């Protein structure tokens, strides 16, 4: 069995690849992606070879009808409705009397994955609302080893106003260490930072610098793979498109009397159980949950009239992109290419919920890229620094409410494959003529001889 390293360089596209000398030296091709083109859905497809209708991961966030709650960024491996690559590989290796091991670094669905070595971001949450950054590893002592050799994981560089290069550098160094000390049969590494400034600034980002930084981090992993004679697959999940406008479907549903909130001491909270319709927004896609089928015509009419909405897919239309799963909304929205969907449902910023101004990914009923920005500019940065120096546990409200600051997004399948995901391989002649994300799993098994 030949070892394999799969490197996920988020946001890298065929159009950007020439700016990455190490990665562009590999055999490469555009990769036909999935809808919605978002992290959890793309990774679920890469790992299982299935579309959302089968693996069930219909976005980064969706409404859990039996709980009456919107859940975001859930990490459990049990969410995958089909067998992931590493479990298939382990089963086939056992059948052949071979030993298979896997290291999974920062790919999603890491909790309960069964991988021999895993590393995933996981803060500690105190009863007073405080949060201490940390990583969760398997085995637990791996966290201590990584901290001792690399320093603490720079969690603030993984998400939030300070998200940037430091997170990818640490992950690349951790992957290098694990490859050399553990020699896994399969290593999965996720490098995130190219995603951040492309979302913040769109076509105004310093793209050449960002891609060069991602290439340098990838080189650390490529060199480690070469040292142990491992084959390499490089994939990405989506490309970032420049956007000019934010669309607020929940505000339109509220104005139409279809969405309800509960007002209280911490602002207005979405009430999904009594709302006739509400949208769970996820970049350039949104799942719209409609409690009573009799309201579908009115909801559809309301949303089709919203500027920036390109399409409203009912259950029948969801079959074509493969998003027809029970956890999907009764309706699924696609934005125009220059637009994205923002989750806010309040009509007056004075009544915004307290979490709206915080980096609080698990409480917001939708994805919020405004968390990549710092409200108040230098003043906001000064407050954040003061909080850190004083060791204060409460959270300053530092995220802007103005969604127009966001200049890049993703989620749609692009018309031009040069601006979508890609695949690259260290082995010439291996890539199929028209590679698809659903075929990466089998390609990886073939490279390992499984």
The answer to whether 413 touches 18, Cβ cutoff 8 Å, is no
pLDDT score at 389: 56
Q: Using CB atoms within 10 A of its CB, is residue 5 exposed (0-12), middle (13-18) or buried (19+)? A: buried
The burial of 388, by beta-carbon neighbours within 10 Å (0-12 exposed, 13-18 middle, 19 or more buried), is given as exposed
User: Over the stretch 187-230, which tens digit does the pLDDT of each residue have?
Assistant: 999 999 999 999 999 999 999 999 999 999 999 999 999 999 99
What is the CATH number assigned to the segment(s) 4-242+413-447? 3.40.720.10
pLDDT tens digit sequence for 31-89: 999 999 999 999 999 999 999 999 999 999 999 999 999 999 999 999 999 999 999 99
User: What pTM does this model have?
Assistant: 0.94
Query: CA separation (Å) from 211 to 24, 222, 244?
Result: 11, 16, 23
Indicate the pLDDT class of residue 382, thresholds 50, 70 and 90: very low
Q: How far apart are CA 219 and CA 217, in angstroms?
A: 5
Report d(CA 417, CA 440) in Å as an integer: 17
Q: Which fold has domain 245-406?
A: Gyrase A; domain 2 (3.30.1360)
Buried b (16+ CB within 10 A) or exposed e, 37-49: bbbbbbbbbbbbb
Compute CA 284 distance to the chain's CA centroid, rounded to the nearest angstrom. 13
pLDDT digits (tens, 9 = 90+) for 259-309: 999 999 999 999 999 999 999 999 999 999 999 999 999 999 999 999 999
Beta-strand ranges (E) seen in 131-237 are 131-132, 135-138, 186-191, 231-235
Backbone angles phi, psi at 214, to 5 degrees: -65, -40
Query: Phi first, then psi: what are they for 363, rounded to 5°?
Result: -100, -20
Given a cut of 50, is residue 394 above it in pLDDT? no
Neighbours of 308 (CB within 10 A): 19
Portions of the chain given CATH number 3.40.720.10? 4-242+413-447
CATH 3.30.1360.110 in the chain is located at 245-406
């Amino acid at each position: 069995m030949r070892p394999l390293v799969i490197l996920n360089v988020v946001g890298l596209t065929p159009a950007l690849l020439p700016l990455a000398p190490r990665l562009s030296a590999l055999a490469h091709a555009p990769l036909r992606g999935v809808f919605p083109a978002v992290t959890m859905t793309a990774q679920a497809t890469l790992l299982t070879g299935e579309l959302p209708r089968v693996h069930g991961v219909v976005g980064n966030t969706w409404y859990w009808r039996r709980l009456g709650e919107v859940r975001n960024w859930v990490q459990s491996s049990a969410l995958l409705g089909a067998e992931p690559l590493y479990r298939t590989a382990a089963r086939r290796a056992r059948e052949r009397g071979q030993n298979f091991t896997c290291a999974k670094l920062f790919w999603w669905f890491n909790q309960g994955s069964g991988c021999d070595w895993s590393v995933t971001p996981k803060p500690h949450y105190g009863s007073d609302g405080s949060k201490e950054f940390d990583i969760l590893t398997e085995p637990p002592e791996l966290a201590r080893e990584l901290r001792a050799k690399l320093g603490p994981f720079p969690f603030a560089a993984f998400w939030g106003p300070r998200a940037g290069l430091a997170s990818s550098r640490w992950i690349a160094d951790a992957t290098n260490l694990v490859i050399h000390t553990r020699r896994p049969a399969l290593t999965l590494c996720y490098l995130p930072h190219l995603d951040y400034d492309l979302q913040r600034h769109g076509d105004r980002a310093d793209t050449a610098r960002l891609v060069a930084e991602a290439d340098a981090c990838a080189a650390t992993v490529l060199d480690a793979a070469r040292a142990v004679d491992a084959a390499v697959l490089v994939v990405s999940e989506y490309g970032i498109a420049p956007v000019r406008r934010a669309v607020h479907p929940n505000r339109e549903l509220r104005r139409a009397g279809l969405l309800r909130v509960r007002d209280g001491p911490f602002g207005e909270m979405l009430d999904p159980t009594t709302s006739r319709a509400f949208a769970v927004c996820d970049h350039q896609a949104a799942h719209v949950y409609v409690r009573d089928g009799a309201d579908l015509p009115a909801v559809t009419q309301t949303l089709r009239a919203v500027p920036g909405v390109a399409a409203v897919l009912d259950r029948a239309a969801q079959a074509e992109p493969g998003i027809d799963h029970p956890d999907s909304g009764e309706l699924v929205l696609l934005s125009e290419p220059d637009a994205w969907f923002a989750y806010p449902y309040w009509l007056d910023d004075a009544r915004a919920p307290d979490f709206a101004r915080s980096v609080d990914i698990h409480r917001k009923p939708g994805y919020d890229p405004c968390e990549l920005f710092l409200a108040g500019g230098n003043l906001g940065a000064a407050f954040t620094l003061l909080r850190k120096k004083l060791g204060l546990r409460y959270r300053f409200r530092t995220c802007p409410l103005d969604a127009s600051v966001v200049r890049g997004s993703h989620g749609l399948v692009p018309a031009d494959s040069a601006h979508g995901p890609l695949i690259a391989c260290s082995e010439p002649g291996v890539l199929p003529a028209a590679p698809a994300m659903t075929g990466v799993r089998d390609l990886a098994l073939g490279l390992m001889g499984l």
